[in-house]
């Protein structure tokens, strides 16, 4: 099996995802909000890139592999399981009880093994996944791809996602979230290497400590998969520390509902958080600006569980207040094509 890890040699429809443009009225200014639609990768998320990049480079370096194991909150595991199925490799995915029903079913459908890691007292769910994946690799002699600590994870974004995004710039600012920190670190490294001064903002809920200390530390569990993290990222050593915008989960859920009602972006919950961070930043500017958002996945992973799982996880009054506040801004959004931009 010839393995070539160069992004343009990827045998799947991964990469070259569209950048969709919206105009949005905030205060006196009409801004441009652009979304990088990673949901349109073949297996449905930005993690398709990471799974292919790590697997193909590992095979290039070590030779053919028959079985791999890795930890994932869901999207990466789904992508890795799909890629391994096509390549005839056995995959074991270690996830957490919080995995979406969509991703759990997607992984099982490929024939991969899905292991759910229970966290020990004081252990984050992310750390529990890493621990169990490492234990399985050691016990069963599988190749541990180790996406949470493997610098091929941020490298996939530095060398693949970010160049695609900035080829369509310039933009006044770029917005992303972190879970393992791969996207955040990869974009940071890309901008530094290209001496590109576009500011990068990470958007996370108050309780996330992926890159910097949380704004509050009441220890309440994060509700939205891939939106911030309760474990400090292995890739967090960045100087100066990344700029951070905090957007709470009730607002993300309200904006998700509003985007649906207006039939606007079909992106997932963490992506809606990123878009809200961009809107918050735009609202503080003294003139029209362009903001590009890295949108990790699609709404199909969340719609079925929105009413039963996500809505009850936040105080209803906070959701209602955010819904009322965001309503006019989201109603002003219009998709634009280059010709009429
Ligand atoms: C829904 C979602 N959003 C965002 C991310 C961010 O990815 P990263 O791990 O690169 O920080 C992930 C990663 O798993 C994710 O699943």
229 Cα to the center of ligand 1, angstroms? 10
Q: How close is the Cα of 177 to the center of ligand 1, in Å?
A: 7
**Ligand 1 atom, smallest distance to 154 CA:** 10
341 residues of the chain, pLDDT tens digit each: 445 666 668 999 999 999 999 999 999 999 999 999 999 999 999 999 999 999 999 999 999 999 999 999 999 999 999 999 999 999 999 999 999 999 999 999 999 999 999 999 989 888 999 999 999 999 999 999 999 999 999 999 999 999 999 999 999 999 999 888 999 999 999 999 999 999 999 999 999 999 988 876 566 789 999 999 988 999 999 999 999 999 999 999 999 999 999 999 899 999 999 999 999 999 999 999 999 999 999 999 999 999 999 999 999 999 999 999 999 999 999 999 865 44
Residue whose tokens read 């530390």: 217
For ligand 1, atom 13: residue with the closest CA = 226
DSSP annotation of 151? T
CA distance 222 to 254: 16
- How many A from CA of 322 to the centre of ligand 1? 24
Name the residue at shortest CA distance from atom 5 of ligand 1.
Answer: 226
**Rounded to two decimals, what is the model's pTM?**
0.95
77 token code pair: 């595991």
**What is the number of other CB atoms lying within 10 angstroms of the CB of residue 121?**
4
Q: Sign of the CA dihedral 2, 87, 15, 70?
A: negative
The fold of the 47-144 domain, in CATH, is Rossmann fold (3.40.50)
Q: Distance (Å, rounded) from C-alpha 262 to C-alpha 63? A: 49
The class (CATH top level) of 7-44+155-340 is alpha beta
pLDDT given for residue 213 in this prediction: 85
215 burial type by CB count under 10 A (0-12 exposed, 13-18 middle, 19+ buried) = middle
CA 114, CA 95: separation in Å to the nearest integer? 7
Residue 278, class by beta-carbon neighbours within 10 Å (0-12 exposed, 13-18 middle, 19+ buried)?
Answer: buried
Atom from ligand 1 closest to the CA of residue 50: 10
What does the DSSP assignment read for 130-147? Answer: HHHHHHHHHHHT-EE--T
- Three-state DSSP at 247 gives coil
Give the whole-angstrom CA distance, residue 279 versus residue 306: 23
Residue 227 C-alpha to ligand 1 middle, in angstroms?
7
Domain-by-domain residue ranges, the chain?
7-44+155-340, 47-144
Q: Which residues line ligand 1 (CB under 6 A)?
A: 47, 73, 75-76, 177-184, 225-226, 268, 270, 296-297
**Distance between CA atoms of residues 229 and 185, nearest Å:** 14
Instruction: Pick the residue whose CA is nearest to atom 3 on ligand 1.
Output: 226
Angstrom CA distances, 314 to 273, 305, 310, 311, 323, stand at: 15, 14, 7, 6, 13
Closest C-alpha to ligand 1, atom 16: 226
Pairwise CA distance, residues 61 & 64, whole Å = 9
Query: Counting Cβ atoms within 10 Å, is residue 148 exposed (0-12), middle (13-18) or buried (19+)?
Result: buried
Pair type for strands 113-116 and 143-144: unpaired
DSSP 8-class letter at 299 = G
Pairwise CA distance, residues 329 & 323, whole Å: 10
Calculate how far, in angstroms, residue 296's C-alpha sits from the geometric centre of ligand 1: 6
> Residue 119: what are its φ and ψ, rounded to 5°?
-75, 145
**CA 123 to ligand 1 centroid distance, Å:** 20
Nearest CA to ligand 1 atom 9: 180
Among residues 84, 74, 181, the alpha carbon closest in space to that of 117 is found at 74
* Sign, Cα dihedral of 323, 298, 154, 74: positive
Question: What's the gap in Å between 235 CA and the centre of ligand 1?
Answer: 13
DSSP conformational letter for 211: S
pLDDT on residue 124: 87
Give me ligand 1 centre to Cα 102, in Å: 15
Q: Are 270 and 225 in contact (CB under 8 A)?
A: yes
Beta bridge partners of 140: none
Q: Are 46 and 161 in contact (CB under 8 A)?
A: yes
* 103 CA from centroid of ligand 1 (Å): 13
Read off φ and ψ for residue 22, nearest 5 degrees: -125, 150
Atom of ligand 1 nearest to the CA of 271: 3
Q: Which residues have C-beta within 8 Å of that of residue 255, sequence separation ≥ 6?
A: 272, 275, 276, 322, 326, 330
> Which ligand 1 atom is nearest residue 224's CA?
1
Q: Is the peptide bond before 240 cis (omega within 30 degrees of 0)?
A: yes
Atom of ligand 1 nearest to the CA of 180: 9
């Amino acid at each position: 099996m010839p393995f070539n890890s160069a992004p343009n040699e990827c045998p799947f429809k991964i990469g070259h995802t569209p950048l969709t443009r919206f105009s949005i009225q905030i205060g006196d200014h009409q801004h441009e909000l652009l979304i990088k639609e990673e949901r349109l990768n073949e297996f449905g998320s930005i993690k398709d890139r990471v799974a292919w990049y790590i697997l193909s480079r590992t095979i290039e370096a070590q030779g053919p592999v028959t079985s791999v194991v890795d930890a994932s909150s869901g999207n990466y595991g789904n992508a890795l399981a799909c890629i391994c199925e096509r390549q005839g490799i056995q995959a074991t995915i270690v996830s957490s009880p919080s995995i979406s029903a969509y991703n759990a079913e997607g992984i099982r459908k490929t024939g991969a093994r899905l292991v759910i890691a229970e966290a020990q007292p004081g252990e984050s769910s992310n750390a529990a996944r890493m621990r169990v994946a490492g234990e399985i690799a050691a016990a069963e002699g599988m190749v541990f791809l180790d996406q949470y600590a493997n610098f091929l994870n941020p490298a996939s974004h530095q060398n693949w996602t970010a160049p695609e995004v900035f080829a369509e710039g310039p933009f006044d600012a770029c917005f992303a979230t972190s879970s393992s920190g791969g996207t955040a670190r990869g974009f940071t490294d890309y901008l530094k290497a290209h001496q590109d001064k576009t500011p990068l903002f990470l958007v996370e809920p108050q309780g996330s400590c992926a890159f910097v200390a949380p704004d509050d530390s009441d220890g309440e569990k994060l509700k939205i998969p891939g939106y911030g993290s309760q474990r400090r990222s292995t890739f967090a050593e960045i100087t100066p520390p990344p700029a951070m915008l905090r957007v709470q989960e009730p607002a993300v859920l309200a904006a998700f509902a509003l985007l649906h009602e207006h039939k606007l972006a079909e992106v997932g919950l963490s992506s809606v958080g990123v878009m809200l961070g961009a809107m918050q930043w735009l609202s503080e500017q003294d003139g029209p600006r362009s903001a590009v958002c890295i949108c990790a996945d699609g709404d199909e992973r969340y719609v079925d569980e929105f009413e039963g799982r996500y809505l009850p996880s936040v105080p209803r009054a906070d959701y209602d207040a955010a819904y009322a506040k965001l309503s006019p801004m989201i109603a002003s959004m219009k998709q634009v094509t280059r010709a009429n931009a």
